[in-house]
Amino acid sequence: MITFKMINAFLKVNLQIALAYRADTIVNILINLMWLGWELLGLSIIFSNTNSLAGWGLGELITLLGVFRLVNMLMAAVIWPATEKFNTSVRDGSLDYVLLMPANSLFLVSFARIVVWRIWDLVLAVTLIAYGLHSSGGVVTWLNLFYFLVLAAVGAVVMYSLWVVLVALTFWFVKFDNNVTIMQALMDSGRYPVGIYPPWLRLIVTYLVPIAVATTVPVQGLRGDLSGSQVALFLGIGLAAFLVATRVWRAGVRHYSGASS
């Protein structure tokens, strides 16, 4: 209950910030639409020369783009805005105030800054997924939809866990400012189906740095390409990623010396 109250408070504060800069919000939405246009143009150019990409048709790639934007919305709305502030707070010792609060420090660092206008990305993502499914002509069963929702949640957890590990490195390497850059570079590999990559890279982006779990895998669940045991495997990967991330975070907090040292 306390957690929901805190999220509600964070949303109210960040909504007030967004409303104070309405023009910026409108400009950001227009830029977002422009980038979407470029992404769709890129897909149209690819499919003007071929009928499929690693066995995926245009409609399925549009669905994948929708899932990619869904994950990207989570990162851009919640995760990335907190990164710069966190890096600075570790260097100047202001993280002390967060650690002294009677709440989970990882939760406070993660959700204190929320870019509210990014909810627009959610609308775009759902629209792309629905349009892509309609264009591909695939039949989605309730079981496949359930698999998709579970795997999308797993993907979000995996991406969040990866971010936690990257920002936690700042506890040991204080001038490590490339968290977001590394994350964005890794995220770009999720724009396309994992099948287009060579086997060694496919293994990396699925299991070692599991970007594909956040993008390709949910769409595979929606297509009916995965069995229940495979969905359970990816669920285990998500749980393992979160457990590792929280352990790394706790180790980093213990290593943190604070402003008084």
Q: What is the pLDDT of residue 248?
A: 92
- Report whether pLDDT(227) > 90: no
What is the per-residue pLDDT across 45-99, written as a single tens digit (0 to 9) for each? 888 887 877 778 888 888 888 888 888 888 778 777 777 777 778 777 778 887 8
Of 198, 193, 235, 229, whose CA–CA distance to 64 is shortest? 193
Q: Categorize the per-residue pLDDT at 42 as very low, low, confident or very high, splitting at 50, 70 and 90.
A: confident
- Report whether pLDDT(183) > 80: no
Q: What is the pLDDT of residue 243?
A: 94
Q: Categorize the per-residue pLDDT at 254 as very low, low, confident or very high, splitting at 50, 70 and 90.
A: confident
Q: What is the pLDDT of residue 232?
A: 92
Q: How far apart are CA 191 and CA 42, in angstroms?
A: 11
Question: Of all residues in the chain, what percent carry a pLDDT higher than 90?
Answer: 5
What mean pLDDT is predicted for residues 88-113?
A: 79
Q: What is the pLDDT of residue 179?
A: 63
Q: How far apart are CA 180 and CA 81, in angstroms?
A: 9
Of 160, 166, 157, whose CA–CA distance to 87 is shortest? 166
Q: Which residue has the higher pLDDT, 157 or 9?
A: 157
- Report whether pLDDT(184) > 80: no
Q: Categorize the per-residue pLDDT at 1 as very low, low, confident or very high, splitting at 50, 70 and 90.
A: low
CB 223 within 8 A of CB 138: yes
What mean pLDDT is predicted for residues 104-131?
A: 81
**Distances 82 to 50, 104, 105, 185, 203 between C-alpha atoms, Å:** 41, 15, 13, 18, 30
Q: What is the pLDDT of residue 160?
A: 87
Of 247, 261, 246, 258, whose CA–CA distance to 97 is shortest? 258
Q: How far apart are CA 220 and CA 215, in angstroms?
A: 9
Q: What is the pTM of this model?
A: 0.81
Q: What is the pLDDT of residue 201?
A: 79
What mean pLDDT is predicted for residues 167-177?
A: 77
What is the per-residue pLDDT across 189-204, written as a single tens digit (0 to 9) for each? 777 888 788 888 788 7
- Report whether pLDDT(258) > 70: no
- Report whether pLDDT(102) > 80: no
